[in-house]
Structure 1
Amino acid sequence: MMLTEEETPKETGLVEETGEMADVEEAIDRIDETIDIISVKGSCLPHVMIELEGIPVCFVVDTGCEMSSITREQMTSLGFEESDLVNTNGTFHLVVSVKINNYKFVELFYVLSNFEDNLLGLNILANYCCIIDLDKDTLTFRELYMDASWDLRKTTVNIQGKDVEMDIDTGAESYMTGTLSLAKELNLPLKAIQGYSIIGVGYEVAVPYVAPDLCIKAFGREVHDAWYKVKPDETPEGYKDPTLGVPFFYGLRLLFNPDGSFEVMEPETEDVMRSSDELSEEREISTRGDTSGSKTIPSAIAMDKPQGSDKEATMTATEDPKESDEETTVVDMDKPQTCDEKPATKAAEKHQESNKEPTATAAEVPQGI
């Protein structure tokens, strides 16, 4: 189905009236459709297949993206033309028919010319009260909540004993990213690298430094051997906020609840498909438990932990490094360490097997940063 500009609905999340779903009101109240999260070769990000205009389309499940988007190539493959695009202040979008199993609706998608992935963002994940289950590898659409916020979800992450507020970004392949100034503030050990970049919507920047072997805590979980990748100064404004990426969330469930709240839960938590009324009742009876305690997670899930050498030259972010005569070492930024433990989740195991990114080489640390 193609819609012209005149036919574009004023609101998204509209259910198509078809013979399969005669009771539109009931379809809007409850959806309860689950699809599989799949792994894509060369990526550790969660992907799903969703039907657009009757064609299966692969998306990255991206909590760091406010609006869902498709590439211009994808737009063409769906049968749309340039004349179908709606231009709003230089931003192009389409309203597209969507099918999740037996549930049908139409939704607005941005169309991007300078990005290679289709992104499933918060306008869908939050509006449809999704559960991103990175333990069972499923994405569940529960019910429609039109008042959901599309703001990025944030959490406090304890890094080496210091608290930092970070965006929750399942579209980020690293444990953490942030600015050099934040690394200095946290007094992180830095290593200069070459050959690795951060790719965002409309930009790609080289990573100048990483801080390895960090202990981080959030949501009652503790991870050792995490990595912090430094965003360079040329990162566009609006993209410099620190992020907590998808490797941290392997084995956890991220819930956009029907009352507008957001939770991250361990897999052993009761498997719920709660409605708005059920959530309200539950919270009248009891308050949410304290998650300040930490559960240690094996370092096998450290997806961007490189194999390295004890002789690798490191620096502290607050120090003025000097040139080193140490032999240059090879750092594989994405390959996890070999260990006897099995991956903490099947998601981690799949991504370990598929991650074939090129290695990055440790460079001489420049003076005077």
Structure 2
Amino acid sequence: MKALVLAGGAGTRLRPITHTSAKQLVPVANKPVLFYGLEAVAAAGVRETGIVVGDTHAEIEAAVGDGSAFGLQVTYLRQHAPLGLAHAVAIARDFLAGDDFVMYLGDNFIVGGINGLVDRFAHDRPAAQIMLTQVADPGQFGVAELDSEGRVVGLEEKPRHPKSDLALVGVYMFTAAIHDAVAELKPSGRGELEITDAIQWLIDAGHRVESTMVTGYWKDTGNVTDMLEVNRLVLESLPARVEGTVDPGSELIGRVVVEPGAMVTRSRIVGPAVIGAGAVITGSYIGPFTSIAAGCSISHSEIEYSIVLPRASISGVGRIEASLIGHDVEVTPAPATPRAHRLVLGDHSKVQISC
């Protein structure tokens, strides 16, 4: 069996962060989301892995390399435009050959891995095996319809009027039969080749399509709210570890990770939290569920339930919470007078100002 990991999306829901960074490399607990998926694939015993990349291919290739750090043999497959999941399968056809494969969306996060799913698929070998979970807003996802016996009878991508609340999770298993389905597809109204249409083709052609309900935690980390929630979940599972320097005037409470080279001075950190390598925390409060990445500087400030990306600087700022702060950002107080806000904002920014 092979793996096909999709890392080519534009990440429009995470702008402006994704104007300059691949969405799959935004970190959760100081580790890129994509890495959790690659680790899950490797843990399931899959070695040959194709990674579909787009405009951010150089950044992703630099981060993942040849895959040996994950126990994988990686081949990069260029998708010149995000034309749908089924299009990704089409461009990977030569790599996949006639092998069964697992397709994993690189911005998805699943607690518990995919070992059981891979084992079940290898044993039963339906033409396709999908994972489903109940969601409150099914119109934002691919949606499955089941009959009275729990069999998959229909699928639709982001329907205006969903027939169920069962969303497709971003992990799929396929035999080579999926290639015949993809070859018959026409672009949808969104201009994409939809994987839901390909699976529907299999159903209509009499192929067996199985589904599994996800009972654990799953998130599509496509927006800031979901990124912060996944960060919270991962931090809750990290054991305390101090490899950097913490002065006697500081206080660490609960599960706090201080990575090598980090310095904590006259500060209070309440876990779960992680302070990245080489970060400097001075006279500050770092609250629960916060990830401070490598090389950051936090001084005389308060922050909690947030993700701060590498080399960002926060100085002399009061309470910050529920925030995603990008690479090399500088956050400082505004002048006391005149009372005004001075903003330099990129496209798709979202700003909340207290008046």
Q: TM-score range by the shorter chain?
A: under 0.3
TM-score by length of 1: 0.22
**Greater helix share, 1 or 2?**
2
TM-score by length of 2: 0.23
Relative contact order, higher structure (CA 8 A, sep 6+): 1
